[in-house]
Amino acid sequence: MTMTLLELDRVDACYGAAHVLHRMSLNVKAGERVALIGRNGVGKTTVVNTVLGLASLRGGKVRIGRREPARPRAYMAANEGVAVVPQGRRIVANLSVEENLLLGSAVRRPGPWNLQSVYALFPILRERAHTPGTAMSGGQQQMLAIGRALMANPALILLDEPTEGLAPVIVDQLADILNRVADAGTALLLIEQNLSLVMRVARRYYAVAKGSVVAEGEVQHESLDELQRHVMV
């Protein structure tokens, strides 16, 4: 039986008095490639923030690996093999590329990913290893953010809008990289509006509107137009 790495079961989540997620349910199993799509402001990032404890869980259940915490916290996700590539990348400004990567290894989970294997996947990071992380281009910073997540040897990576601000040629490279990561066994939850990337990487999708899942299915069974209606402003 395939292990469930992340599950939200009828979750309500809030920021203070702002109720954002309404009975949200989704799951990601080991080795899966799942996309979460929808317009801006519908609660996609709040899914990540609920898992990390940055949004308040007010109802329902969140299961992270083997844990079902009443109050999720970021360290719980890390300990259970869930890593995050956050929206905006959040590269630490006063650290070099290599130092940013080493931050990802702080959890000390065993696995195949280390500096050498990350550098093999992203040769540009080896070339720029001693450059300040924030001195690189947006695409290179996204590679650094993914490499940092891989350094935790995660079972699952949550990627929040990874193509934001990237040129189409870099999006193409990103699709190839994510497929290689997934082929190596790491599950992906891809929070994304770029449907080109979704259709090239994801196998299943959830569409979100007003903090709830309104559609789900297999990506290969949907047309681009069918998926597009969930992200049109």
Tell me the per-residue pLDDT of 172-185, one tens digit each, with 9 for 90 and over: 999 999 999 999 99
In a domain, 19, yes or no: yes
In a domain, 17, yes or no: yes
In a domain, 162, yes or no: yes
What single letter denotes the amino acid at residue 96?
Answer: S
In a domain, 190, yes or no: yes
In a domain, 191, yes or no: yes
In a domain, 233, yes or no: no
Token pair for residue 145? Answer: 């953010």
- Domain count of the chain? 1
Identify which of 55, 51, 24 has the alpha carbon closest to the alpha carbon of residue 38: 24
pLDDT at 215 (0 to 100):
93
The domain in which residue 175 lies consists of 4-228
In a domain, 193, yes or no: yes
The counts of H helices and E strands in the chain are 9, 9
| pLDDT tens digits, one per residue of 115-174 | 999 999 999 999 999 999 999 898 899 999 999 999 999 999 999 999 988 889 989 999
* Domain CATH number, residue 85: 3.40.50.300
The pTM of the whole model exceeds 0.85: yes
* CA 73/CA 49 separation, integer angstroms: 9
Reported as a pLDDT band with limits 50, 70 and 90, residue 224 is: confident
* CA 84/CA 223 separation, integer angstroms: 29
* CA 22/CA 32 separation, integer angstroms: 24
In a domain, 99, yes or no: yes
* CA 202/CA 189 separation, integer angstroms: 8
